[in-house]
Structure 1
Amino acid sequence: MRNPLRMACLVLIAAGCCAVYLIHDLNGSFDYALPRRGIKVLAMVLTGFTIAYATVIFQTITHNRILTPSIMGLDALYLLLQTVIIFFLGSSHLVVTNKQINFLLSVAVMIVFALFLYRFLFKKGGQSIYFLLLIGIIVGTFFSSISTFLQVLIDPNEFLIVQDRMFASFNNINSDLVWMAIVIVLLVLIYAWRYIKYLDVLSLGRETAINLGVPYDSIVKQMLVIVAIFISISTALVGPITFFGLIVANLSYQFFHTYKHKTLISGAVLMSIIALVGGQWFVERVFTFSTTLSVIINFIGGVYFIYLLLKERKTA
């Protein structure tokens, strides 16, 4: 009964964070402020859900709790795409000014890239997942290098627009993008639900899963595509958050101490909602927008990442 009680506590804390963010210091401006805060809360919940879900699945597939889907180079590809668009088309182009077009283009390019990468690597079969990760690191570094090169050459005024895309931001989120992203996530989630029953077995390893009758290679390919779609949506919606998935996924492992992925994913999602909504409230009310939430998350995530590395080293 410990895990259900802990889950209930997380649900109450997450609901409390959302309620406080929505109604704190409204001063009677319900018609104006409440809908705008509601959209921001929806965006944070959606972002937290997609990142947490994708990270837990990705770490189960790779059997490594210090890896995140950003290692596949999707974050670097997003920044490269935004830099290339502004460098060649200019900041006044329709692709830049129209957020719906920019969002759909970003999601489509990242998904196509992930599908191409997976199909190329798994074409002949037998490729190790670690070879896929190695290729992802190399490609991500390559994308980052091109982005840096173009950012040096770009006009300083337009570089400010590129710089805004480098960090995740929940301010001035377009409501149309949120509803569009929700529809896409729900469709993917309906498709992905059929595979969640295999995750507990996949965590036992490739040989054990195959011996238990699980079509390991096929399931891994499907789950990698789902991870790519979720990370693409969250990145295109608010921007890259490198270490966020690492934090919430590992906190969920330590908090619940179970192998059941329904519990782990639910716990990671609730923790991500608490972190994003509560963190954004602190950024707005305590720090008065003197910093961004992504900077705080990346700082804490970097420290936590070093802690996990030292912990794994002692264990080994």
Structure 2
Amino acid sequence: MRTSFWGALGALLATVIALWLFQGLTGNTGFVLSLRAKKLAALMLVAASVGMATVLFQSVAQNRILTPSIMGFDALYLLVQSLALATLGITGFVTLPAGPKFLIETAVMAALAVALFGTLLGRGGGRDIGRTILSGVILGILFRAGATLVARLLDPNANAVVQSVSFANFSRPSAEALGWAALVALPAMAAALWLGPRLDVMALGRDRAVSLGLRYRAMVLAALFLVALLTVAATALVGPVAFLGLIVAGLAHGLAPGARHRTLLTLAALLAALMLVGGQWAFERLFGLKATLSVVIEFAGGLLFLTLLMRGKIR
């Protein structure tokens, strides 16, 4: 892609960031800026994590209609949260230090994701799209049903804690989880970019990739491991985000058709950041929080998913 395109995209993102940080700045500016800066960092981290995780997952599945959320990653995270709450109780769950809690959740999530989705996608990729989507939807339903069952066995106060992490909230990202999420997500992003050339080979299909010397199974598991890390980081900060990744991955492929994975990963991260920061600025400054950004994103993403499915644009 041309340097001018990257420059224009970077300038647009910088403009939106400046508007969001400095517009309406009054009172104790230092305190307000520090709060906005933390929120901005969380939104940027969530955007990059979701965008890159979706591109990685679509490369593993060899299909552009699948996302981690559609395949049940977010539901798996909620199940892990519910089980942890049931095991530790409200006091133990709430008082558990953010660092150990986040690292334990990440380890469990990554292990389960690699075990479940590695078996599903590692052999044939996403060539049988109907079977792959159906399997992912069934797994998602199973995880959500498990989380609901565990929640119903809890008392109402504990159930309220589970519900608080069940929906995306871009207005109040978790500040205490930000540092730990960055500690997990940033190395995962760097690893994804480093694996870019191997992802390019994997995208050729299992047979071609193996003939070129790629250890296909190991590459699938490595990519799914990174997807799990990025998904946990994003979900821990704002909650489950179902369709943001589908939108930005589709835009990235549309703006850079046939591009290498390093380009696609970077472009998806920047587009997601522009969408989240710009959208949050519009809803906070222009609409006075009379609507919710997550609802708009989910609605638009759902329409895009149905459109892609009906038109058969699954490759």
Whether TM-score is above 0.5 comes out as yes
Structure 1: give runs of 5+ residues left out of the alignment: none
Superposition pairs of residues 274-289 of structure 1, within 5 angstroms: 274-289=274-289
Shift of 1:86: 4.2
Question: What TM-score results when the alignment is normalised by the length of structure 2?
Answer: 0.87
Which residue type is aligned with residue 249 of structure 1? A
Q: d(CA) in 1 for partners of 2:286 and 2:153?
A: 37
Alignment size in residue pairs: 310
* Residue matched to 1:129: 125
Provide closer, same or farther for how the CA distance between residues 110 and 42 of structure 1 changes in structure 2, counting only shifts above 3 A.
same
* Residue matched to 1:115: 114
Contact 2:193/2:262 (CA < 8 Å) preserved in 1? no
Provide closer, same or farther for how the CA distance between residues 174 and 63 of structure 1 changes in structure 2, counting only shifts above 3 A.
closer
Provide closer, same or farther for how the CA distance between residues 195 and 245 of structure 1 changes in structure 2, counting only shifts above 3 A.
same
* Residue matched to 1:59: 58
* Residue matched to 1:209: 209
Shift of 1:14: 1.2
Provide closer, same or farther for how the CA distance between residues 126 and 70 of structure 1 changes in structure 2, counting only shifts above 3 A.
closer
Question: SS of the residue aligned with 2:195?
Answer: helix
Which residue type is aligned with residue 37 of structure 2? G
Superposition pairs of residues 177-188 of structure 1, within 5 angstroms: 177-188=177-188
2:311 counterpart of 1:311 = yes
Deviates further, 79-88 or 175-184: 79-88
Provide closer, same or farther for how the CA distance between residues 215 and 102 of structure 1 changes in structure 2, counting only shifts above 3 A.
closer
Question: What TM-score results when the alignment is normalised by the length of structure 1?
Answer: 0.87
2:226 counterpart of 1:229 = no
Question: SS of the residue aligned with 2:69?
Answer: helix
Contact 2:55/2:265 (CA < 8 Å) preserved in 1? yes
Q: d(CA) in 2 for partners of 1:157 and 1:284?
A: 30
2:77 counterpart of 1:81 = no
Shift of 1:135: 4.8
2:295 counterpart of 1:295 = yes
Shift of 1:232: 1.6
* Residue matched to 2:252: 252
Q: d(CA) in 2 for partners of 1:108 and 1:287?
A: 39
Provide closer, same or farther for how the CA distance between residues 279 and 246 of structure 1 changes in structure 2, counting only shifts above 3 A.
same
Contact 1:10/1:267 (CA < 8 Å) preserved in 2? no
Q: d(CA) in 1 for partners of 2:152 and 2:176?
A: 33
Question: SS of the residue aligned with 1:301?
Answer: helix
Q: d(CA) in 2 for partners of 1:160 and 1:183?
A: 28
Shift of 1:244: 0.7
Deviation track 1:261-305 (CA, whole Å, cap 9, x = no partner) reads 222111111110011111111222233333332212111100111
Superposition pairs of residues 14-25 of structure 1, within 5 angstroms: 14-25=13-24
* Residue matched to 1:265: 265
* Residue matched to 2:11: 12
Superposition pairs of residues 31-110 of structure 1, within 5 angstroms: 31-87=30-86, 89-91=88-90, 93-98=91-96, 100=98, 101-110=100-109
Percent of paired sites with the same residue? 37
Q: d(CA) in 2 for partners of 1:38 and 1:112?
A: 33
Provide closer, same or farther for how the CA distance between residues 203 and 43 of structure 1 changes in structure 2, counting only shifts above 3 A.
same
